[in-house]
Amino acid sequence: MTPPITAATHSPAPFTIGIDAAAYELPGERQDLHDWAQQHKLPAERFDMIRNAGCRYFHVAPDIDEVELAKRAVARLQDEQGFKGSDIGAVIHVHTGLFSVPPAPRSLPLEVATAFGINPVWAGSIAQLNCSSISVAIQMAQALMKVHSQLHSVLIVSSDRVFIERYRVLQASILSDGAGCLLVTRNSRRNRVGATAVRNYGSWYLGSVTNNAVKQAMFNLEWHYTRKVMMEAVADCGVALRDFTCILPYNSNHSGWNAFCNAMAIPATTLYTDNILNKGHSFGSDLAINLADRGLSKVDAGAHLMNITESDNGSFSALTLHPVN
């Protein structure tokens, strides 16, 4: 019997992705939790809890919207990296706050694209996983490159503000207004992404800000789920946990991170915690901030890096970044 004729298929050439550059915008002079607590009559026990968690400084953008914050971050990236608008094939925007977007019919990713002369094959937003959306954006950048063989570079932009000031302090963190951006490149010569592990626990979808049941569940399980997503990334990338010499946390709860690392036998020098104190938790922009300040230079010097995110709606992620060779 003659076998059926099938159409020829062309598999795309294998490729890796890397993060060529990162930049951020934290507006204005940094603010001090001590002053904020007095102004907003924060109870003494809450103030002590936040300070004991290693948090103190943060940034506020009362008169700058999310689009302008994003444009400032991208402008800084362009100044440092020198990309042209024609170099960028897609723009992916991530945000946590439901209100951290311009009102319809405006579009933050399209306004950023227009401002920098970018004509993207795809532009859109990811928000449902809150602070973990940044890891999904990196997964999406790779997926877009698989579909569009001509797509070489993707711009990922994150931007958020706190809209209700009493929510500036949450759990063991203080929140910063700000924006960040990443230049994700096909076959980067600077580094390569090894794994992007994402877990989402739907039972927490209501979030912990106003739901006490979710808040208690997070208190009981957040570090357990953090460990699970870290070990998933370790398995996916093939690098042992002990060989990671730079771990970037989300920028909150220094005391919690110390206890977790002690339990996991992770050396204190592996965890980069400076920005927990100095800059606060800037939602999905923590990755860009920590990469720009420390992470990229560590990988340049040969380190294996892992970034961890956690969202109060039950989303966790771990991203690994490695030297090209």
Same domain, 252 and 275: yes
Given a cut of 90, whether residue 218 has pLDDT beyond it is no
Query: What's the distance, CA 185 to chain centroid?
Result: 17
Given a cut of 70, whether residue 8 has pLDDT beyond it is no
Alpha-carbon distance of 302 to 54, in angstroms, equals 29
Alpha-carbon distance of 143 to 165, in angstroms, equals 37
Decide if 12 is inside a domain: no
Same domain, 175 and 205: no
Alpha-carbon distance of 290 to 107, in angstroms, equals 27
Decide if 3 is inside a domain: no
Query: What's the distance, CA 193 to chain centroid?
Result: 14
Decide if 2 is inside a domain: no
Decide if 155 is inside a domain: yes
Same domain, 314 and 225: yes
Q: Number of H helices and number of E strands within the chain?
A: 10, 13
Last residue of a domain, one of 152, 186, 220: 186
Q: Write the CA distances from 154 to 35, 69, 150, 205, 304, integer angstroms.
A: 40, 19, 12, 29, 23
State the residue range of the domain holding 58: 17-186
Alpha-carbon distance of 323 to 318, in angstroms, equals 17
Alpha-carbon distance of 270 to 244, in angstroms, equals 8
Render pLDDT for 26-71 as a digit per residue (tens, 0 to 9).
999 999 999 999 999 999 999 999 999 999 999 999 899 999 999 9
Decide if 6 is inside a domain: no
Same domain, 254 and 310: yes
Alpha-carbon distance of 170 to 176, in angstroms, equals 11
Q: Is 37 exposed, middle or buried (0-12, 13-18, 19+ CB in 10 A)?
A: buried
Identity (one letter) of the amino acid at 190? R
Same domain, 221 and 242: yes
152 or 204: which leads in pLDDT: 152
Same domain, 182 and 209: no
In the three-class reduction of DSSP (H, G, I as helix; E, B as strand; rest coil), residue 270 is classed as helix
> Locate tokens 């049941």: which residue?
213
Same domain, 41 and 148: yes
Last residue of a domain, one of 186, 216, 246: 186
- The tally of domains found in the chain comes to 2
Given a cut of 60, whether residue 221 has pLDDT beyond it is yes
Same domain, 46 and 133: yes
Alpha-carbon distance of 308 to 267, in angstroms, equals 16
Given a cut of 80, whether residue 115 has pLDDT beyond it is yes
Decide if 174 is inside a domain: yes
Render pLDDT for 256-314 as a digit per residue (tens, 0 to 9).
999 999 999 999 999 999 999 999 999 999 999 999 999 999 999 999 999 999 998 89
Render pLDDT for 21-32 as a digit per residue (tens, 0 to 9).
999 999 999 999
Given a cut of 50, whether residue 9 has pLDDT beyond it is no
CA dihedral 240, 182, 169, 233 (to 10 degrees): -20
Given a cut of 70, whether residue 5 has pLDDT beyond it is no
Residue in 274, 273, 29, 38 with CA at minimum distance from that of residue 46: 38
Query: What residues does 170 pair with on adjacent strands?
Result: 173
For 174, the token pair is: 């203080």
Decide if 139 is inside a domain: yes
Residue 318 · residue 225 · CB < 8 Å = no
Query: What's the distance, CA 37 to chain centroid?
Result: 27
Decide if 5 is inside a domain: no
Tell me what pLDDT residue 140 has: 98
Task: List the CATH number of the domain containing 230.
Answer: 3.40.47.10
Same domain, 210 and 171: no
Mean pLDDT of the chain, nearest integer:
94
Same domain, 168 and 204: no
Dihedral sign for Cα atoms in the order 146, 150, 152, 157: negative
Tell me what pLDDT residue 171 has: 82
Q: Write the CA distances from 260 to 149, 225, 287, 306, integer angstroms.
A: 42, 12, 20, 15
Same domain, 217 and 156: no
Neighbours of 90 (CB within 10 A): 23
Identity (one letter) of the amino acid at 87? D
Residue in 87, 78, 76, 321 with CA at minimum distance from that of residue 190: 321
Alpha-carbon distance of 255 to 312, in angstroms, equals 18
Residue in 258, 240, 207 with CA at minimum distance from that of residue 97: 207
Same domain, 150 and 269: no
Last residue of a domain, one of 169, 186, 203: 186
For 56, the token pair is: 């103190």
